[in-house]
Structure 1
Amino acid sequence: MKINIFYRKKGIDKHSIEKVYNSLIPYFEDYNTSIIELPYKSKGIIKRILNIIYAGVNQSQINHISGDIHYCNLLMCRKKTMLTIHDVYPIIRTSGLKRFLLKLLWFDLPIKKSYQIITISEFSKSEILKKINVSSEKIKVIYNCISPIYLFDKLTFNESKPNILHIGTKENKNLNSLLEAVKGLNINLLLVGLLNDSQIQLLQTYNTSYQNFHNVSDIELYKLYKQCDIVSFVSTYEGFGLPIIEAQAIGRPVITSNLASMPEIAGDGALLVNPLSIKEIKNGILSLINNPELRETLILKGLQNIKRFEAHKIAQQYIKLYKEISNSKK
């Protein structure tokens, strides 16, 4: 069984998808598995057409599009191809002609050209079914796995000035609301991702202590998790929410949203708040700072929760599916 897993071209602060599949590859060692990285970033018509041709030329017995580059399966054999769709946020945040083209080229046509669709949460499956004309039977939920580098690391909580790690600076990551919520609190923010001018302005206006990191490696991100006292992931929309389980694995209390996929992924191991309420975010942060019993309870429940996402368990689900596609006569 020959398996080709297709990755997008490497880019700054874009490696969460690759992180997941890199953790699974060692479990595919009994099979002939290759990583095929597209030669061009998904910008402009010409480069996307070249990516489609490159992917078509490099197709194999089983072709797995790992996400984000859905369109690259358009020249592939349908019965040999599976596509992972992480979320439908791109067509939620756009409108008009751009939305029409995005939906057609990233979702409608690639879904028709795929034997099987994988998505990463029950929430994302429900969103796909709402937005796209596709049969529920064609979509299978396989959760993201957690990287084996994320090991428990006990920390003495910094009660005087806790470090709060927040990953992501795009609109759905809800950083501006977090900045409003921690205004005036004696904390230090560890912010991962490129800050825009308005975010920098808020940090300066509120005189908030912070450090900013971007284009960090997996090891560097792991060190930031170890350094922090609390992980904030109060997004307004996520298809999964990998930082939730990474924080749980290391043993850090997590505050996350009660919307979208986040309750499904966090289980009982995180403090859930309404991300649209600055007051709730602030009260949640204060509860984690001032209540050591709550922190300990969430940490213990988080360590139980991450067992669902162990790489060897997720890999077995993929191997079963690869075999089904390999044996299919459709």
Structure 2
Amino acid sequence: MIKVLFDHQIFDRQTYGGISRYFANIIKGGNSAGEIEMIKGFLYTNNYYLQQNSINFSELLLSTFLKKSKHIYKKNNNYCNRLLSRGNFEVFHPTYFDTYFLDQLKKPLVITIHDMTYEEMPEYFPNNDPLPEQKRLLANRADKIIAISETTKTDIIKHLQVDANKIHVIPHGIDNKAPKYEEVENLPENYLLFVGSRSGYKNFFMFARAFKILTEKHKDIVLLLAGGGPLETGDSEFLIRNGIFDKTRQISATDSQLNMLYKNALCFVFPSLYEGFGIPILEAFKNNCPVILSNCSCFPEIAGDAALYFNPDSIESLAHQIETLITNKSLKSKLITAGKKKLETYTLDKCIKQTIELYKSLVD
């Protein structure tokens, strides 16, 4: 049986989050397949997805003492280094881009690159951020690189100049289980849904300006923000200046509540200037929610004809597409049907199977 070692990095960083969910699914799926043993290279984590997936991590859940400790990363790092030095595995798949292991790693290395946001959008990040250089070092050392979209593969080649033959596109997938729904208190009747971070390249303020245009005609419409943390001062001041603060609501939703938000939304809008994939697109498709996307980055590749698109530099373009969608029931129905069809392309089982085959190719 092939043994694949995963390290601690992303599980130290994220209690929730897309990258940790991806790796938790790979670990669970690999173990369930029966031909791969996934080795946990860490002692402690409170990651939600590892617990949710019923992986044998009960011994890893943090005690009250450990949750307060500032040394968890160090403890996990030391433990993973011991596993690396013993070498009782065939493939190493780190979960983020710290290069701590490079000097001692003697086994095949697989990395997953989810996006090239830092490289494509440097104006939104600090100049001294070590991530781009760490990513470059690992990409050059890696035996195989998983890119989660053709767009990401193209951007990896563009910025990191690595051999295209070692980059394998394995898109994200979503499970085919029926969604679970949890009620959300005081849910507005008519709302546009925005999901996740509102930071610079996510283009939230542009969406908010388009929303303001729509409120002139649709007085009862609400801008609903799921996740991304409470409104920061800058967010609130912007919304107040534009007269839409009272029409905006932020919710920290559970997964089941998020499903409910998608299900009841007029539409889901993803105005980001750059993404490596865009899991919320699949979440919207699964919950019969029509989708409007910026016409850049990976979005046309992922959603195809199952979404409406707008020019991310044009507020009027977005406002027009939202107006078109929310007033055209036939179009809405068509997009929902196309979204359901698209989900057949992006299954979690397919993602896991292709990843396992990649591991096996390094050992055969």
TM-score higher than 0.5: yes
Please tell me the residue identity of whatever aligns with 2:81: G
Q: Give how far 1:211 is off.
A: 2.0
The superposition leaves residues 272-316 of structure 1 with CA deviations (integer Å, 9 ceiling, x where unpaired) of 111221111111111111011110010000100111111111111
- Count of paired positions: 313
Q: Give how far 1:201 is off.
A: 1.7
Q: Is 1:199 matched up with 2:235?
A: yes
Please tell me the residue identity of whatever aligns with 1:22: A
User: Residues 48 and 295 (structure 1 numbering): CA distance in 2 closer, same or farther, change over 3 Å?
Assistant: same
The equivalent of 1:181 in structure 2 is 210
User: Residues 27 and 280 (structure 1 numbering): CA distance in 2 closer, same or farther, change over 3 Å?
Assistant: same
RMSD: 2.9
Where 2:11 maps in the other structure, the secondary structure is: coil
Where 1:71 maps in the other structure, the secondary structure is: coil
The equivalent of 1:222 in structure 2 is 259
User: Residues 23 and 52 (structure 1 numbering): CA distance in 2 closer, same or farther, change over 3 Å?
Assistant: closer
The equivalent of 2:336 in structure 1 is 299
Matches within 5 A, 1:149-188: 149=177, 151=179, 161-168=189-196, 169-183=198-212, 184=215, 185=218, 186-188=220-222
The equivalent of 1:157 in structure 2 is none
Instruction: Decide which of 346, 351, 357 is 1:314's aligned counterpart.
Output: 351
Q: Is 1:254 matched up with 2:259?
A: no
User: Residues 125 and 132 (structure 1 numbering): CA distance in 2 closer, same or farther, change over 3 Å?
Assistant: same
Q: Give how far 1:266 is off.
A: 0.7
| Greater gyration radius | 2
Kindly indicate whether the alpha-carbon contact (under 8 Å) linking 2:43 and 2:75 is maintained by their aligned counterparts in 1: no
Where 2:249 maps in the other structure, the secondary structure is: strand
Where 1:182 maps in the other structure, the secondary structure is: helix
Kindly indicate whether the alpha-carbon contact (under 8 Å) linking 1:108 and 1:132 is maintained by their aligned counterparts in 2: yes
TM-score (norm: length of structure 1):
0.84
Please tell me the residue identity of whatever aligns with 2:283: E
Where 1:321 maps in the other structure, the secondary structure is: helix
The equivalent of 2:56 in structure 1 is none
Could you tell me how far apart the structure 2 residues matched to 1:26 and 1:263 are? 30
Identity %: 29
Please tell me the residue identity of whatever aligns with 1:171: G
Please tell me the residue identity of whatever aligns with 1:164: L
Could you tell me how far apart the structure 2 residues matched to 1:73 and 1:211 are? 44
Greater mean alpha carbon deviation, residues 300-309 or residues 29-38? 29-38
Q: Is 1:190 matched up with 2:228?
A: no
Structure 1 gap segments, 5+ residues each: 41-45, 154-159
Kindly indicate whether the alpha-carbon contact (under 8 Å) linking 1:240 and 1:261 is maintained by their aligned counterparts in 2: yes
TM-score (norm: length of structure 2):
0.77
Where 1:87 maps in the other structure, the secondary structure is: coil
Q: Give how far 1:161 is off.
A: 5.0
Q: Give how far 1:69 is off.
A: 3.2
User: Residues 306 and 9 (structure 1 numbering): CA distance in 2 closer, same or farther, change over 3 Å?
Assistant: same
Could you tell me how far apart the structure 1 residues matched to 2:83 and 2:301 are? 36
Kindly indicate whether the alpha-carbon contact (under 8 Å) linking 2:267 and 2:289 is maintained by their aligned counterparts in 1: yes
User: Residues 296 and 179 (structure 1 numbering): CA distance in 2 closer, same or farther, change over 3 Å?
Assistant: same
Q: Is 1:65 matched up with 2:67?
A: no
Could you tell me how far apart the structure 1 residues matched to 2:166 and 2:156 are? 11
Please tell me the residue identity of whatever aligns with 1:21: F
Could you tell me how far apart the structure 2 residues matched to 1:114 and 1:53 are? 22
User: Residues 218 and 70 (structure 1 numbering): CA distance in 2 closer, same or farther, change over 3 Å?
Assistant: farther
